[in-house]
Structure 1
Amino acid sequence: MGFVKNLVEQNVPGIYVLSLEIGKTIKEDVENSFFMNVNAQVELVCNILSKDKMLQTGYNAMGFSQGGQFLRAVAQRCPSPAMKNLISIGGQHQGIYGLPHCPGESSHICDWLREMLNLGAYRSLMQEHLVQAEYWHDPLNEELYRNKSIFLADINQERGVNGSYKENLMKLNKFVMVKFLKDSMVVPVDSEWFGFYKAGQAKDTYTLQESDLYHEDRLGLKVMDKAKKLEFLTVEGDHLQFSKEWFITKMIPYLK
């Protein structure tokens, strides 16, 4: 994130960049990305943003990987200060079903994480304390996902429509979603554009425009799509693998 922060500052002179750290140290930030309840993380970020005097007239938000859907939750739940553009780089907006790789793949945390998700992602203990379980989306048991997911099912309005979530998201000028075409971490990769597996199996997928979420317009995405507020971009690389040139050409314009 330090590299990204510097890159933005170099290419947008005078810009103020806040890099969100969930914890007092880098070590805590990494641990919290696995073990801190996502709803608590979103609430923490909302408080940070509300107190930052530099952001009170509005700001652009950029989230990487799971940070993409976490910042979308911020946009939906915390309209003040106003988020102008939301850029999701490799975010999993319909969740994941599988975790073939994760940060620090060789570490014991990733092996343990896979075991816990396979054991029971929707158990209350897992949902409360395991970040990846909170956006685990089982297409073989959609009802269980809708009823037990404490984060993703909520922000995707699976149990009913919270009008403020929809209204707040629709206030965005642009919602930019970047998909990595050779992504080996996000399963299915279609989730980065709000697509997912068709119910009852884990092979064939649907697009955002084919989804119930879109046709029922629970988040206002259909209206936003018609108004050309949604941007769908691709990168040829693996998860979060992009060039400096690509970032400057494709991402910087949304920050100016």
Structure 2
Amino acid sequence: MNDLLSHGLQGFGPLLAQGTWMTLKLALLSLALSLALGLIGASAKLSRSRLLRLPATLYTTLIRSVPDLVLILLIFYSMQIWLNDLTEMLGWNYVEIDPFSAGVVTLGFIYGAYFTENLRGAILSVPAGQLEAATAYGLSRAQRFRLVLFPQLMRFALPGLGNNWLVLLKSTALVSIIGLADLVKAAQNAGKTTNDMLFFLCLAGLVYLVITTLSNRLLKHLERRYNTGIKELAR
């Protein structure tokens, strides 16, 4: 079986495995950054301060209005140009941005806008009376968030978060255009070398399908966990 698989991959198995690992690292780190930006953005949009609401609104409106591919190219090359100008002004040596770091920042920044709206809607779905009760009991802001707000907003946010995660995962394929050796790039290289592009691209699609299937199972588990006791309370 191993010999058959090795023959079918024509020696490109390790390259595809490295590409898969690169894709997973890129997606997970981008997810972490997106969640952080989403929480900050949602808090800003729900703030009473116009100085906080306006930048957050501009951020989500702009990012969600421009295609991801355009944003990836724009952010990546803008970052490199700004860094070049800075190093030249300070008299430092030329610094080239690492494609992986650029990919994480770019995808995190883009999907942070989608997570902002997702989390904002979830926060609004939590009854305000529960937060007021937590305040009356003397809980600090951090305790209110950890014990009252977060468990409930996750119940409302998880379907949207799961959908955004799957879209983010597929969008990692776009980062290959800035030179990152992800799964799609590895499949393209293997296909060009062997003149069997269709096979390797289908194989890459199969790997994405496996990852998304496992992700869906994990998301279903999380949804059941955060919905524990809800049906009993509704009766």
**Shared fold (TM-score greater than 0.5)?**
no
Structure (1 or 2) with the greater helix fraction: 2
TM-score by length of 2: 0.26
TM-score by length of 1: 0.24
